[in-house]
Amino acid sequence: MSSHYEAPIRKPLIIGDKNFHDVTVDVARPVEGRANRQWWIAFSIALAAFLWGVACVAYTVATGIGAWGLNKTIGWAWDITNFVWWVGIGHAGTLISAVLLLFRQKWRMAINRSAEAMTIFSVVQAGLFPVFHMGRPWLAFWVLPIPNQFGSLWVNFNSPLLWDVFAISTYLSVSLVFWWTGLLPDFAMLRDRALTPFTKRVYSILSFGWSGRAKDWQRFEEVSLVLAGLATPLVLSVHTIVSFDFATSVIPGWHTTILPPYFVAGAIFSGFAMVNTLLIIMRKVSNLEAYITIQHIELMNIIIMITGSIVGIAYITELFVAWYSGVEYEQYAFLNRATGPYWWSYWLMMTCNVISPQVMWFKKIRTSIMASFIISLVVNIGMWFERFVIIVTSLHRDYLPSSWTMFQPTFVDAGFYIGTIGFFFVLFLLYSRTFPVIAQAEVKSIMKSSSENYKRKRELEGDHGHGHDNHSTEHNHH
């Protein structure tokens, strides 16, 4: 047996004396069991919100965009705010599964499945807005460069809105493939444990005949690594492209070169906050506290703190550059944010995004589940306001004072947003009862290096002590 060196400073990622079978049972339990009353209540609420959103979208499409609070000055408000917000939330999933994989972060294994699910479901929500904020959504297929009978009339590839189409659709499809590939061994596990012929059949189809041979695993690892390598630039480019919707314009307050990295940082910030919110609930209701430990939450909080600080620096940079630029329109745009009619949204954004993550410097707060949960929610509120502030305050007062105006959302604006939240939770709640919410195959791969019982064993028996049969040859590693 080769020796295994694991720094004793590392805390266990799997707590409780779990063995391989326990992992299987714990992951399969929510899938194999029946939904309880709370699940049905949550699901009904989400479904009601979703259906209300469907009604609001149907109303919008049937009567026109005038059902929203947009006006001739402010052509984008809640629609694009929510779009960017949802895309941003989706980014943490890929970050957790791809970037943390490239950095060999073992702690991602317990959270990547749900984070990727969150990516998929929130990108689906995001994808609704570009379609339904169109005046004529039934002609949405015209954004695709398809040969046609208009003398083969094509799209203009100069618009970031077209890049959005490519970015979002690529992002969704790559994330979906990445997610599904990772699911194959876990679906196979559920297939092999299936109790009824129906579930057996369903998971047989979903697992694509995974049999877990050495060659399969070897290729599986390679594919994961390649996809992680592809998904990482994708994460950065997708939100960069989303930020180009604003950064490439000539609007003071939008036309900034800082937007791409700052939007990406904001996306990671809000995405991790959403993962944190969801997992804090999930670890409790699905009894996964042994896998999603306080350490996971702490590490996510640290990332929230770091990206929150990056966002804070970006805010200060914007303010500095506005002052330094000597462009009075730019200066006014930021003065208007801070002291104009939407001052409250600006200061709400500042408070939520810059101040709240800074409390994570205190270990007591970042290791407190309740505090993390609240701050995660606060961050997502703050990040919604960040997009709202960037979009609306830049538009409602720009070059010509004669076109200054205000924005007032209608119930349809709100209904669409509520509907996407409902839709998201409908998907997420269904996912949490039918999919293996923890990548058990991956978690099992860190069992011997990072679980509490093996760590304890190593402490007692030295670095060789990861089996009952082969300890006691050398004792002096420790």
Q: Least Å distance between CB 138 and other proteins?
A: 5
Does residue 456 touch other proteins according to CB under 8 A? no
Q: Three-class SS of residue 73? A: coil
Number of Cβ within 10 Å of residue 203's Cβ equals 21
Q: Least Å distance between CB 136 and other proteins?
A: 7
Q: Please check whether residue 323 is in contact with residue 331, taking contact to mean a CB–CB distance below 8 angstroms.
A: yes
Nearer to other proteins, 138 or 344 (CB): 138
Q: Least Å distance between CB 61 and other proteins?
A: 12
Q: Three-class SS of residue 451? A: strand
By CB under 8 A, the residues from 403 to 432 that bind other proteins are: none
- Angular region, 212: left φ>0, alpha ψ -120 to 50, beta rest: left
By CB under 8 A, the residues from 244 to 303 that bind other proteins are: none
CA distance 94 to 120: 9
Nearer to other proteins, 137 or 340 (CB): 137
Size of the site for other proteins (CB under 8 A): 3
Q: Please check whether residue 438 is in contact with residue 289, taking contact to mean a CB–CB distance below 8 angstroms.
A: no
Does residue 150 touch other proteins according to CB under 8 A? no
Residue with tokens 């979009």: 391
Q: Least Å distance between CB 129 and other proteins?
A: 21
Among 10, 29, 136, 456, binds other proteins (CB under 8 A): 136
- Interface with other proteins by CB under 8 A: which range of 133-141, 177-185, 384-392, 463-471? 133-141
Nearer to other proteins, 16 or 137 (CB): 137
Residue with tokens 């350490």: 295
Does residue 139 touch other proteins according to CB under 8 A? yes
- Interface with other proteins by CB under 8 A: which range of 96-104, 131-139, 328-336, 431-439? 131-139
Nearest to 52, CA basis, from 308, 326, 414, 322: 414
Nearer to other proteins, 153 or 281 (CB): 153
Does residue 62 touch other proteins according to CB under 8 A? no
Nearer to other proteins, 137 or 261 (CB): 137
Nearer to other proteins, 149 or 473 (CB): 149
Does residue 344 touch other proteins according to CB under 8 A? no
Does residue 144 touch other proteins according to CB under 8 A? no
**CA-to-CA dists, residue 202 to 47, 199, 224, angstroms:** 24, 5, 24
Among 138, 150, 157, 198, binds other proteins (CB under 8 A): 138
CA distance 134 to 138: 9
Q: Least Å distance between CB 132 and other proteins?
A: 16
Does residue 148 touch other proteins according to CB under 8 A? no
Length of the chain: 478
Q: Which residues contact 208 (CB under 8 A, 6 or more apart)?
A: 184, 187
Does residue 195 touch other proteins according to CB under 8 A? no
Does residue 370 touch other proteins according to CB under 8 A? no
CA distance 182 to 249: 39
Q: Which residues contact 223 (CB under 8 A, 6 or more apart)?
A: 181
Q: Which residues contact 31 (CB under 8 A, 6 or more apart)?
A: 190, 433, 434, 435, 436
Chain positions contacting other proteins, by CB under 8 A:
136, 138-139
